Amino acid sequence: MKLTYKRGNLLLYKYISKEFLLNFLVSFTFFFMIFFVNSILLLVQRILLRNIDLGTMLTMVLLSMPQFLIYTFPFATLSGASMVLGDLSSNNELLALKSSGIEQKKVFFPIIICSLIFSLLTFLVSDYLLPWSNIIYRERLTLLMRDMPTFEIEPNGTNTIGNIVIANGSVEESTIHDIIMTNSDRSSENKSVASRRGEVEMIDPSRFLYRLDLEEPSILITDSTDIGTNLIANAENATFYLDFSNQVPSLTNTNPVNLSSRVLRANIKERQVREDEDRAIYHSERENLRLDNADALKESFSGKRGTDVYNRVEDVNAKLSGMTALPIDFYAQYYKAELTKKYSLSLACFFLTLVALPLGTVKLKYGKLTGFAISLIIAVAYWYMMFFSQLEIFSISTGPYLLIFAPDIAVAILAVILMLIMGRTR
């Protein structure tokens, strides 16, 4: 009898897990398309315009995928759980299981286990796969831009590189035709260069620095303070140096989001030392201002009520009121937020699943569709909370850990409240 009971549990776990994974795959595809396709189509378009081979194009696309997986897993887990529980509820399967003496927690058990597995998988993608793919992506991109230096220059268009605006004609590998170059900064001296042909060559792969050699250029120099003053010169050749570092596609880069937790912790430790030094100086200056304020007040109370004493008190008070917030190190705060986000997004798979569990306690019409709709609402709400939390990390002087975890905490509280409400109404 005991053996039959265990087999029944295993059959139930197998069935729930299978249904959950099928719905997870459907949801995963949906969210992946939302996060992934738009950005990747832009990348593919840029690559195809340069006649890059299919193998290289697919490699670049695959290396960009981990950037979106860390968001896809949590939302797909939520939708998968909502859809399977909504479907079981609408088909009265949960009611049938309950009438057979099977506790509801046994239905939830495989879903929770799967969500924990996806939490671990999300963290592994964020902490290992994403940093690795970013490094490989940049290496491949460096080779691509070295072999085809004009990769980031649009043909028959206008390109801004640093403070240089380049209008050009056709582009063929390392050759640019019909070039007109102007400087976009507002200096007293404006330069314009025109040339029928130029050759681009990479000189520093790590910094994406290039040399542009122009053939028979014409140079126009105009003084912006005196429009009538200009100089036209011709030369056999001219050389310009172009900084393409800002032109590198931003899908993968060296931002903290692409660093591992180990590197982030090391950077936080280094930056924390600087932040502690700045705060020590802040406290010292604030204490000195308080002492100055006390001395000025003493003088005013002792009978020295002249304009100088009054101005001194006002000046000290103004400085004290301007020192209300502790200084924060921008990168220290940024690194802390990104490190915390690795854990919060990973745990989101589990917390978002908890919100879906109360769906198994109510009768839903169009269960799977209704469950998916509910999951979309929760996913959008979670996304906005996470976005808002990231915007606010520099408005507080304390660590951003609690702020970044706020969406997870809010979801967990909502799950508990819903479970209590549903438990009372059953």
Q: Give the CA dihedral 208, 214, 217, 219, nearest 10 degrees.
A: 20
Mean pLDDT of all residues in 362-368: 72
Residue 351 lies in a domain: yes
pLDDT tens per residue, range 237-252: 888 877 766 655 444 4
Burial of 262 (0-12, 13-18, 19+ CB in 10 A): exposed
Residue, of 137 and 338, whose pLDDT is higher: 338
This prediction has a pTM of 0.70
| Per-residue DSSP letter, 154 | P
pLDDT tens per residue, range 26-40: 999 998 888 777 666
Q: Check residue 358 and give its pLDDT.
A: 82
Q: Check residue 2 and give its pLDDT.
A: 45
Instruction: Assess whether 204 and 120 both reside in one domain.
Output: no
Instruction: Provide the percentage of residues in the chain whose pLDDT is more than 90.
Output: 18
- Domain span at residue 71? 2-146+332-425
Instruction: Assess whether 235 and 136 both reside in one domain.
Output: no
Instruction: Assess whether 99 and 193 both reside in one domain.
Output: no
| Domain final residue, candidates 211, 229, 247 | 247
Instruction: Assess whether 185 and 78 both reside in one domain.
Output: no
Residue 294 lies in a domain: no
User: Could you tell me the two tokens for 287?
Assistant: 């204490």
Mean pLDDT of all residues in 318-344: 76
Q: Check residue 296 and give its pLDDT.
A: 60
Instruction: Work out whether strand 171-172 and strand 189-204 pair parallel, antiparallel, or are unpaired.
Output: unpaired
Q: Check residue 393 and give its pLDDT.
A: 85
For 179, phi then psi, to 5°, come to: -100, 135
Residue 15 lies in a domain: yes
Instruction: Assess whether 103 and 197 both reside in one domain.
Output: no
Alpha carbon distance 176, 201 (integer Å): 11
